[in-house]
Chain A
Amino acid sequence: MTREPVVLGIETSCDETGIGIVRGRTLLANVISSSMDEHARYGGVVPEVAARAHLEAINPALEAAFAEAGIGFAELDAIAVTSGPGLSGALMVGVGAAKALAVATGKPLYAVNHLVGHVGADVLDAEPLEYPTVALLVSGGHTSLLVVRDLVGDVELLGETIDDAAGEAFDKVARILGLPYPGGPQIDRAAVGGDPTAIRFPRGLMLPKDLERHRYDFSFSGLKTAVARWVEKAQDAGEEVPVADVAASFREAVVDVLLTKAFRACADLGIPRLLLGGGVVANARVREAAAERAAAQGVQLRIPPLALCTDNGAMIAALGAQLVAAGHRPSGLGFGADSTLPVTEIQVDELAAPA
């Protein structure tokens, strides 16, 4: 292809209906319709509520994205859609819409991996990725540490959470502190003026014995319980809970584990590059601490703009465009929604080369 491919990306793996359009590595449109407010009263994402919201939002979001990009279907070279991982019922809305749109417009369809999409977000309006790079993806649904040797050909999972995702821990601790959902921004706000060293909360899977089997894995369930115990003990003693200190100390524990493991991977593998992605990267303390450690360890740190860190369609489009540019064939029409799609499967159901 002599010019850069124009690709539409459709993302419906969780509670964000994301429609993006890119031209190669240039962002043309990024429309996100979130059902987050509808989940707030339930304290977390309700799959059926999310899926219903996707169906209502997807066509308006498509129209808004094309208006924003100032192009029509005819100008598209391809359509990309998230096949997984994510919530099955939510993913199916995007998959059904993408397949129909591909047949209606005669455009090739690329079924892609949501997590690799988060890495793909970082090529937009930025320098091309340097390989290999370590990538830390942290959101309400995922906490994964990857090594990316080639965005469209070689992604390896180093480790992931064995229980709660980091974003989930923020939501649960916010609830313990009587703060609303989603917890990330609430904890951030509550932590202002708090002492991050006031309480030494446990760091999951950081003991020498854990590091043998779970060197790059994460666990946040114990941390959440430790915070609950601490708060209950204070309440039982009739003391006022120092919310700012608890929030700051909890956040510090999460940030410490996330970054210690990520930078350790950089050191172990001799890779001086780290990329951050996922909604939790919106947390100011995560970015600040990452920048400090990167400077100290001589690691080049890349963080996409916030609108590209949370779930979005532009990252799916960007990954699709990279697949097209690299000469990958489209996916067949028979793929499904795969809630547990492994990160090694960058593209699903790529068609065989014609004989």
Chain B
Amino acid sequence: MLLAIDTSAGTSVAVVEGDLVLAERSTEDTMRHAEVIGEMIAAVLDEAGVDPSRLDEVVAGMGPGPFTGLRVGIAAARAFALGIGRPLTPAVSHDAVALDEWSAGTRGPLLVVTDARRRELYWSSYDLGSDAVSRTDGPGLCRPDELPYPDVERIDATQVSAGALGRAALIRRAAGLPVEYTEPLYLRSPDVTVPGARKRVTR
């Protein structure tokens, strides 16, 4: 049984056991990650009737996602894992969107797109096969007119389900695939420039 947390878009928290989502809370609000994260974790544990000590691991959505919000979920997931003395499993947030589509019956190639702010988009491409989902490219960052795979069916997600994220992490492990990214997928350097020569105050 695991706790999954994703703040790459809005905030989503879930308790997952195998392929079952026992409880899930989500909000698309992209401005209040730090405010809602604690209450949402407490709420899903309460709804699932699970004491933290019964969890085997914590799954964290590593993005891609805009940095300020993304960090809240990763910090929370890492701290929660430390608090219960269980391992943290990082997962790619877009995998959750692809798995949700697959579960809803979509098959074939799929491009998952999320908002990266500053007029840019995050993308990952998938192949939704008859019995498995595989990421074929990405995650990447680009301007809207530079999105790859223009002929592929595209889904613009405003929410990443923590329930699906937890399930995706377990499916990935069962398939013998390794954890890929242990650090946040900002895909963008801090917006900062080294100062040039100091400007004079006198003319």
Contact = CB atoms under 8 A, between A and B. Distances in A.
Nearest to A225: B201
A157 interface: no
Interface stretch (B67-75, B137-145, B165-173): B67-75
B79 interface: yes
Contacts of A300: none
B67 to A, nearest CB: 7
Contacts of A105: 52, 83-84
Q: Is the interface of A mostly helix, strand, loop or mixed?
A: helix
A45 to B, nearest CB: 11
B35 interface: yes
A311 B184 CA distance: 26
A355 to B, nearest CB: 20
A97 B184 CA distance: 15
A41 interface: yes
A98 B72 CA distance: 10
A203 B191 CA distance: 36
Q: Is the interface of B mostly helix, strand, loop or mixed?
A: helix
A42 B34 contact: no
B38 A43 contact: no
Interface stretch (A85-93, A206-214, A255-263): A85-93
Contact of A97 (B35, B76, B194, B202): B76
Contacts of B75: 54-55, 58, 92-94, 96-97, 100
A59 B194 CA distance: 29
Nearest to B55: A104
B42 A93 contact: no
Contacts of B32: 336
Contacts of A229: 201-202
Interface residues of A, number: 49
A52 interface: yes
Interface in B108-157: none
A63 B71 contact: no
B192 A95 contact: no
Given A89-B67, A100-B75, A49 B37 contact: no
Contacts of A332: 39
B197 to A, nearest CB: 10
B190 A100 contact: no
B183 to A, nearest CB: 8
Interface string A69-92: 000010000000000000011011
Contacts of B190: 46, 48-49, 52
A100 B38 contact: yes
A58 B78 contact: yes
Nearest to B46: A103
Contacts of A223: none
A291 interface: no
Contact of B71 (A55, A73, A103, A336): A55
A96 B33 contact: yes
B164 interface: no
A344 to B, nearest CB: 21
B141 to A, nearest CB: 16
Contacts of A41: 194
Interface string B36-54: 1111011001000000100
B105 interface: no
Contacts of B33: 92, 96
B20 interface: no
B53 to A, nearest CB: 9
A105 B39 CA distance: 14
A101 B202 contact: no
A285 to B, nearest CB: 25
A333 B71 contact: no
Contacts of A97: 75-76, 78-79
A97 B32 CA distance: 15
Contacts of A106: 52
B86 to A, nearest CB: 9
B35 A100 contact: no
B84 A104 contact: yes
Interface string A220-250: 0000010011001100100000000000000
A59 to B, nearest CB: 5
Closest 4 CB pairs of A and B: A104-B83, A99-B38, A333-B38, A100-B76
15 contacts: A42-B193, A46-B192, A92-B33, A92-B72, A94-B75, A96-B75, A96-B76, A97-B78, A103-B38, A104-B79, A225-B201, A228-B202, A229-B201, A334-B35, A337-B34
